[in-house]
Amino acid sequence: MNILCIGGGPAGLYFALLMQRQNPAHRVTVLERNRAGDTFGWGVVLSDQTLGNLQAADAASAACIGEQFHHWDDIEVFFKGRSLRSGGHGFCGIGRKQLLDILRTRCSALGVQLVFETEVRDDQDAARQYAADLVIACDGLNSRVRQRYAETFRPDVDLRACRFVWLGTRKRFDAFTFAFERTAHGWFQAHAYQFDGETSTFIVETPEAVWQAHGLDRMAQEDGIAFCERLFAHYLDGEKLMSNAAHLRGSAIWIRFPRVVCARWVHRLALDGRSVPMVLMGDAAHTAHFSIGSGTKLALEDAIDLAGAIATEPTLDAALAAFEARRSVEVLKIQNAARNSTEWFENVARYSGLPMEQFMYSLLTRSQRIGHENLRLRDARWLGDHERWLAGGTQARLPMLLPLTVRGLTLKNRILVSPMATYSAVDGVPQDFHLVHLGARALGGAAMVVVEMTSPTPEGRITPGCPGLWNAAQQQAFARIVDFVHASSSAAIGLQLGHSGPKGSTQRGWDAVDAPLPAGNWPLLAASAVAYGPDNQVPQAMTRADMDALRDAFVAATGRAAAAGFDWLELHCAHGYLLSSFITPLTNLRSDAYGGPLENRLRYPLEVFTAMRAVWPAERPMSVRISAHDWVPGGHTGDDAVAVARAFQAAGCDVIDVSSGQTTRAAKPVYGRMYQTPFADRIRQEVGIRTIAVGAITDGDQANGIIAAGRADLCAVARPHLADPAWTLHEAARLQAAPQPDWPLPYLAGRDQLLRELARQRAATDEPEKL
């Protein structure tokens, strides 16, 4: 093939050399607008894993790269006059110029044609000139090719909230260093690492508002650099900061990071009767924030993947399809992690109230890719010190096993069995099923089991199979369950009260989710006459009389819950149910005192909560579940969630149970492991209230990380507890923790037998993770 690479950065050069090496008969050309020796970056960072990928793809260039790398294992964090260091992280730094020189030399040796000082203003003319059969558009962040064929590539460019400047220094840092400095206007942070024998990269970053408040937007380039030198003088040991961006003027060296996502990566050029594929690669196709050091990694691995696909697939079309399908998913994983990392650095002020120990742990795990046990693998001593610190200086314990006291209730650990609809009540009365379901999980090691959403009225049920608490029979049935949990386990038991609102009168979950009953539907209430979906009935907008009656029903149910002996009460204000329908602007269209601004939309939910709190025993905790984000344009965002949490805190709420979405069928959540935890994290840090993290928490390692970082105080685990009632016990044993002495195991000889049995099974199988 005739292959044309537009852009001589890492992606273009590495793809060129791989394809020329793969088949010397290819004619591969790289067009680069700059001179051969030009580069405008400092050092780049690659992980040990990426080095292994380079070795497998082309051992010759990998050996040259390896000779130039500066390797380090430690990360050191400076914050509020203290520093902590953790090891075992395994990174390598190399100068961008050295990397490009190595790739250029290797390209030349293999016969790749390198053409410098050539600005490609028309990609189609270039493709014709070189008779290209394949065009690789690796023309960088501001790709002309991507812009020209935007209808195909459908790029989404998000300019992030911080300004940063990429500098260098002769100060040689012996660890990857994060330094945080507070000014009168806010926080600055430096990301520093050595990449050769005498030079380090030094990136300075700060939120846009802080940058402007210091006048950096109006400073000459040299004045802005001098400002950074003064601010971080403590870490530079007298060395200067250097810029290699002399071609830029004034504050143009400070940029906002653009997160680039493209829906498609391949476009077809119609050239003189031929269909020529144009493929995006590297920064032209995607970007990942520098705080996880993945831009160059992604570019190189794009090249490896496409070259491998061309070598193994039967046709070029098949190779391109496989490349786009595979890489788009892999890149999305990195970009999701990078988004978490980006937002952490954009909101350093949010975490500035954390103690140094937790601040560092939060920083190290900010992307949610690094787990608690992975940190133990990297640096067991440091993690052990952190676990001892969390435990108050006593013996180290897994964070998920630490006790927590809320009002007069002490929970033995941080794991809750989340309320899960089971559709098994009869006329609102819980059955023997509920006794077995909740009782088994109470025996399984969790600190508390929480009963599924229970309605204070018959019409407030989601389905005919959902429980209620509007009469004595229901109270008596719940008291039986509560008594069993208290008598047979050391777990607490909570009740979630809520009214289904516009999502009521539907079929059981295993029949048709959120679909109306085939017959016998009851009338619905909501904030406004807005149906949950096109097949759902339109609810009646609540009158003041309706509000009074329902408030009183919630209060009566609260009294029954207290009499039944529940330890904890939660009010459900999420997921599009009745109280949620007041809070979100997507479903509250009222023009009276209960609609319009958020303060008004919160008025009725707060009225209900306040009335419930007044009759709920003062020594027992109350929580509120909220939807922190609607995942729909024009709906609730994280900013609104903070305001909602503050309002409930002022009303006497002890804990915010932080979920998201489900307020409308139009919601499009960005799913992923622990995807809702960042909302709990933000509310906990900014409001100063305890939070419960929920959603896609699937193992004890994730729970340990959430608690250890201070992202939430409790973790509510749902589906894993359905599959395994003793999930908490099993996770504790799997993570080699000593089970708490008061954990009852009446269905086994005891905890020692459980541990011995698990050890035996591990020894007998090659796939212990499947246990």
495 CB-near residues (< 8 Å, 6+ apart): 450, 451, 454, 469, 478, 561, 564, 566, 568, 569, 570
Antiparallel, parallel or unpaired: β 540-541 and 2-6: unpaired
Gap between the Cα atoms of 334 and 51, Å rounded? 17
- DSSP class of residue 539 equals P
DSSP H helical ranges for 291-393? 295-312, 316-346, 348-351, 356-364, 372-378, 380-390
| Residue among 282, 269, 315 nearest 132 (CA) | 269
Are 460 and 419 spatial neighbours (Cβ–Cβ below 8 Å)? no
Please provide the DSSP assignment of 420-472 as one string: ------BTTB--HHHHHHHHHHHTTT-SEEEEEEEBSSGGG-SSTTS-B-SSH
Task: Give the distance from CA 640 to its chain's centroid.
Answer: 19
Gap between the Cα atoms of 21 and 19, Å rounded? 5
Gap between the Cα atoms of 182 and 536, Å rounded? 53
- DSSP class of residue 35 equals -
Antiparallel, parallel or unpaired: β 255-262 and 241-242: unpaired
- DSSP class of residue 273 equals T
In the residue annotation, 577 being an active-site residue is answered as: yes
| Residue among 669, 668, 689, 696 nearest 624 (CA) | 689
Long-range CB pairs of 46-53, under 8 A, 24+ apart, other chains included = 46/91, 46/92, 46/94, 46/293, 46/296, 46/297, 46/300, 47/90, 47/91, 47/92, 47/293, 47/297, 48/90, 48/91, 48/92, 50/297, 50/300, 50/301, 51/92, 53/300, 53/301, 53/304
37 CB-near residues (< 8 Å, 6+ apart): 97
Tell me how long the chain is. Answer: 771
| Residue among 121, 90, 109 nearest 21 (CA) | 109
Cα radius of gyration (the chain): 29
| Active-site residue, selected from the candidate residues 532, 577, 604, 675 | 577
700 CB-near residues (< 8 Å, 6+ apart): 398, 400, 728, 731, 732, 734, 735
Gap between the Cα atoms of 681 and 686, Å rounded? 9
- In the structure encoding, which two tokens stand for residue 512, read together? 């048709």
E strands of 468-567, at which residues?
Answer: 492-497, 525-526, 540-541
- In the structure encoding, which two tokens stand for residue 727, read together? 């999930």
Other C-beta atoms closer than 10 Å to the C-beta of 639 total 12
Other C-beta atoms closer than 10 Å to the C-beta of 51 total 19
Query: Could you give the 3-state DSSP secondary structure of residue 639?
Result: helix
Helix (H) or strand (E) holding 210: helix 208-213
Task: Give the distance from CA 295 to its chain's centroid.
Answer: 19
Indicate which residues carry an active-site annotation.
Answer: 577
